[in-house]
Amino acid sequence: YDECYGLAFAQQLKNKDIPEGGSKAVNLINVHGLSDVGKNFVMRKSVKAFTDTILDLVVDTEETREKVVDYLGKKEILYLGPDEQVTPGDINWIIRRAEYRGYDTPAAFMSSKPRAGINHKEFGVTSEGVNVYLDVAIRHVLGIDPTKQSFTVKMTGGPDGDVAGNEIKILIREYGENVKIVGIADHSGCAEDPNGLDHEELLRLVNSEMSISNFDKSKLGADGAVHHVNTEEGVKARNSMHNRLEADAFVPAGGRPNTIDIHNYKHFLRDDGSPSSPLIIEGANLFVTNEARQALFDEANVIIVKDSSANKGGVITSSYEICAAMMLTEEEFFQNKAAIVQEVLSKVRDLAKMEATLLFREFENYGGSLPLVSQVISNTINVATDALSVALDNLSKEDRAELLPLFRDHLPKTLAALSFDNVNERVPDQYIKNAIASCLASKLVYKEGTKFIEAQPKEKLANIALQYVLKEKEVAMLKEALASVNMPQQEKDSIIKLLDAGGARTALGKF
């Protein structure tokens, strides 16, 4: 229960940029004494039973109206995303079941569909975001330009894993020989080399979907080693790798929740009290507990980018897939999939860069530990989104239509070009309202910061946000008018920079 609750809490925080809220569900089943065939049967049956239970709550029929107790009092739109032990076969069944049960948009009921979906591992969506945070953090915390200077990384999660495998590929793609991956640990063992593990060998393992214990020892340097978990020494080496090895950054991209906790966090510190890595980017959920995060910061100044910021790329991608399933037919999506996927990856990197920039700006300006700043950003966006959702209920359809460009700008260009003209016919009104609210809230917070939002009276927050949109339009008109003014280009650029930085906020008269 505690793990599910923690994951649900983190999910709500990381969903700040998208129309959907966050949650997590776990099916607990007793497979004791069952054969592999029996275990598989029970797991598939539990997925189906869970799906029907959710559909009971969201599909309005005479039977559900009679038997379901509705405390919410309004129609609810729910979507599912796969996690551990959910197979492609399950996903296809769930879509068919939603259609059979009469769900309005069955193709949008489940993400990561084999054909009309965006496979997270295939396209590395989570790792693309993780690496943006790593890049920004290395520049801010260590003063290193990773495109020009050498740096070291250690990781948990193997080359055959989703986040770790793709992060290996991205690190090598972006930084080449500048990045030295000094250690990797997974379920099979660990490989370590203080001079950096051979890139070609790592890519071979990633592309072959092989674990780190298959690392070719002949590719190691003089001080390198490969440890297997089939020996007691190998288990100890694997379990301690993330603590023992010294590196500029540690990226947990796999491993169990609560691996570093308040009882063992000191193992991450060297004898002199300094950390084995001054920087942690949490690619994996809940790898470090809240108490351990704070203790590492207080005692050793370890800068930690929290999971709900660092690995949000997966939920952003799933949200775009859900939206595409509402706006396009399966064939339309499949024909344009290549373009849409690349645009989604660009959106993931852009949203990660905006949050990472704000994260370090507020950390450097106001202090506090980075995980707390991360949570403040998420909570601030969610509070603004909730206020706007209520306010949008009171707007006329004509006034709400004036805000639709916010939703369009949020979407990948190809998806918007193909179907946005029909958005009101294809997408539920509740989803459109949530999309406008979340787009405006995140835009406002990333641009103006959390202190600006916190300073506004809660009852006026939604109105201020809506006025902000109007002031942005005025600023855009001023910039356009400035283009025809006869003055040196350098002066124009300076004025435009000032207008971009604070024009809308100044026009609002809110500071």
Spatial distance between the Cα atoms of 378 and 31, rounded to a whole number of angstroms:
38
pLDDT band at 224 (very low <50, low <70, confident <90, very high): very high
Catalytic residue among 14, 16, 24, 67: 24
Q: What is the DSSP string of 99-162?
A: HHTT-SSGGGSBSS-TTTS--HHHHTHHHHHHHHHHHHHIIIII---TTTS-EEEEEES-TTSH
Q: Band of the pLDDT at 511, cuts 50, 70, 90? A: low
CA distance 124 to 119: 8
Q: How confident is the model at residue 6, as a pLDDT?
A: 87
Average pLDDT, stretch 279-306? 96
pLDDT band of residue 84 (cuts 50, 70, 90) is confident
Does the pLDDT of residue 76 top 90, yes or no? no
Instruction: Give the per-residue pLDDT at 411.
Output: 96
Token pair of 150 as six digits:
């050498």
Distance, in Å, from the CA atom of 305 to the CA atom of 370, rounded to the nearest integer, reads 6
Question: Which of 19-33, 156-170, 175-189, 219-233 is the least confident region?
Answer: 19-33
Give per-residue pLDDT as tens, 317-327: 999 999 999 99
pLDDT surpasses 80 at 510: no
pLDDT above 70: percentage of residues in the chain: 100
| pLDDT confidence tier of residue 3, bands split at 50, 70 and 90 | confident
Percent of the chain at pLDDT exceeding 90: 78
Closest CA to 164 of 153, 150, 175: 153
Mean of pLDDT values over 382-397: 90
Confidence band for 212, pLDDT divided at 50, 70 and 90: very high
Q: Of residues 172 and 468, which shows the higher confidence score? A: 172
Instruction: Tell me what the mean pLDDT of segment 148-158 comes to.
Output: 98
Most confident of 11-15, 69-73, 395-399: 11-15
- Residue type, position 507, single letter: A
Which tokens is 224 given? 């390198």
User: 290-300 and 370-393 helices cross at what angle (nearest 10)?
Assistant: 130
Higher-scoring residue by pLDDT: 508, 270: 270
- Comparison of pLDDT for 114 and 251, the residue scoring more: 251
Whether residue 178 has pLDDT greater than 90: yes
Which is more confident, 397 or 145? 145
Is 413 annotated as catalytic? no
pLDDT for res 508: 85
Average pLDDT of the segment spanning 122-134: 97
pLDDT at 17: 95
Could you tell me which of 412, 316, 392 has the C-alpha nearest to residue 16?
A: 316
Tell me what the mean pLDDT of segment 250-261 comes to: 95
Average pLDDT over residues 286-301: 96
408-464 pLDDT tens trace:
999 999 999 999 999 999 999 889 999 999 999 999 999 999 999 999 998 899 999
pLDDT band at residue 83 using 50, 70 and 90 as cut-offs: confident
pLDDT of 217 higher than 70: yes
Residue 396 has pLDDT above 90, yes or no: no
Query: What pLDDT, on the 0 to 100 scale, is given for residue 509?
Result: 84
> How distant, in Å, are the alpha carbons of 5, 257, 442 from that of 384?
24, 30, 8
pLDDT at 458: 85
The residue among 446, 298, 266, 475 whose CA lies nearest residue 371 is 298
Q: What is the pLDDT of residues 430-439, one digit of tens each?
A: 899 999 999 9
Tens of pLDDT, residues 479-499: 899 888 999 999 988 999 998
- The tokens describing 262, both together, are 């308040």
Report pLDDT for 225: 97
Least confident of 2-6, 40-44, 124-128, 351-355: 2-6
Q: What is the mean pLDDT of the chain?
A: 94
